[in-house]
Structure 1
């Protein structure tokens, strides 16, 4: 199998992040599985990848800490070699509104969704070996394409990351390309029952959300398509096109 360098996946120990890590490991990347508060999950995933013949390491860092975020690429490089692919997947998802947002929560969203990816991009630009090319994929959200008044801090910070994706793509070209994925309903979240999630998916124009394996496949397509930069792919079952959004339909999300 062709070795493609090291992929750093933030928030890589669970849910979508874990699916991405498994997929990239199965397709030739050494994978740095970043975690904040779940070292056991990250270590178990890294061990599972190694047991199947892949290369992986669990890398801890609090992305709200600017110093820790700035040093994450170097930690991944020390464990597995130069980072050629960074997936900024770590996320905070709290419901609020402009009328009631909490300042600490607001700042946490921006630290994880904007400051940390910016520091990771800067470090990758500084450390990418001569002659190598790289890719950054920012996991955003389809809601930046279809705004609602809910999840105010989350939406603003993810919208800022979408802007950063395009400006990073300009600044880091031609050696590093930068793209984004906008997920729609993929797995139930902590506020949803299974029935809530099923109603949300049924409200999509395609009547289905993305399968977990679609995320790794899309990242690999971005890796293998060197003319693509500054783009977002909405893996959302058409949610960003929908007119009956969850807030209007009264569906928990």
Structure 2
């Protein structure tokens, strides 16, 4: 059985990743902080492909909940996932003037500790002779980090380092790679003219779609000779150095 655990898999980017995997014939363990109804597009894809799926609730800021997630998935499906897509992420505002110890710990718990603990637990469950894949979802800002969303950025830099570290430590049982998206699903804070300005600022003249990121995740899941790598799916954003987060760019007339 091709079984994937997608954290934060009911909505937004996680739903796009899950939909692409469903299209490719994977069974799906969809994680959320609470059990949700899948995004309508994902729900349609699950129905179209008669996907074997189940939802699992876990607060990834709670180490005990993290420790219980893979056992719950294995108990339900009777199998260990062959793909772990670490997509869940905390994203709050702070900067060099407002960062706090609590804010750092909150971000590191979800964005770094949970993915690492899930990956190492997966490796133990795969066992000798088995093979699985981990794909961590990062952020293109790891190439040129700034102080906007400081705790978030630092936690993603840590997960980036963990990707290569775990690729070395968990080979050959588990391959560990990452995808670093650019601005994929804008929040309501972005103005239409701002979005067009951001598209034009990208070397490729476009921003990535959720499906672009999902395609990269699926490719890494299948690329059996690849580990320790990060694919930037960002319209080329990582090739440039921006002074501020995208939210602050392109708002002026």
TM-score scaled by structure 2?
0.90
Deviation of 1:52 after TM superposition, in Å, equals 3.0
Would the alpha carbon gap of residues 28 and 40 (structure 1) be closer, same or farther in structure 2, given more than 3 Å must change?
closer
Secondary structure of the corresponding residue to residue 33 of structure 1: strand
Give 1:122's aligned residue.
120
Give 2:195's aligned residue.
197
Secondary structure of the corresponding residue to residue 82 of structure 2: strand
Would the alpha carbon gap of residues 117 and 249 (structure 1) be closer, same or farther in structure 2, given more than 3 Å must change?
closer
Give 1:7's aligned residue.
4
Would the alpha carbon gap of residues 92 and 84 (structure 1) be closer, same or farther in structure 2, given more than 3 Å must change?
same
Secondary structure of the corresponding residue to residue 112 of structure 1: helix
Bigger Cα displacement from structure 2, 213-222 vs 163-172: 213-222
Q: Distance in 2 between matches of 1:226 and 1:39?
A: 33
Q: Where in structure 1 are there 5+ consecutive unaligned residues?
A: none
Give 1:79's aligned residue.
76
| 1:165 equivalent in alignment to 2:163 | yes
Would the alpha carbon gap of residues 223 and 40 (structure 1) be closer, same or farther in structure 2, given more than 3 Å must change?
closer
Deviation of 1:191 after TM superposition, in Å, equals 3.4
Give the conservation status (yes or no) of the 8 Å contact 1:203–1:244: no
Q: Distance in 2 between matches of 1:238 and 1:188?
A: 17
Give the conservation status (yes or no) of the 8 Å contact 2:25–2:49: no
Q: Distance in 2 between matches of 1:75 and 1:43?
A: 25
Give 2:217's aligned residue.
219
Would the alpha carbon gap of residues 55 and 247 (structure 1) be closer, same or farther in structure 2, given more than 3 Å must change?
closer
Would the alpha carbon gap of residues 24 and 158 (structure 1) be closer, same or farther in structure 2, given more than 3 Å must change?
same
Secondary structure of the corresponding residue to residue 76 of structure 2: helix
Deviation of 1:114 after TM superposition, in Å, equals 0.8
Would the alpha carbon gap of residues 42 and 36 (structure 1) be closer, same or farther in structure 2, given more than 3 Å must change?
farther
Aligned residue pairs, count: 250
Give 1:61's aligned residue.
58
Give 1:52's aligned residue.
49
Bigger Cα displacement from structure 2, 115-124 vs 203-212: 203-212
Q: Distance in 2 between matches of 1:243 and 1:42?
A: 34
Bigger Cα displacement from structure 2, 237-246 vs 180-189: 237-246
Give 2:151's aligned residue.
153
Give 1:40's aligned residue.
37
Give the conservation status (yes or no) of the 8 Å contact 2:31–2:56: yes
Q: Distance in 2 between matches of 1:29 and 1:250?
A: 39
Q: Distance in 2 between matches of 1:47 and 1:198?
A: 30
TM-score scaled by structure 1?
0.90
Q: Distance in 2 between matches of 1:18 and 1:126?
A: 27
Secondary structure of the corresponding residue to residue 11 of structure 1: coil
Give 2:23's aligned residue.
26
Q: Where in structure 2 are there 5+ consecutive unaligned residues?
A: none
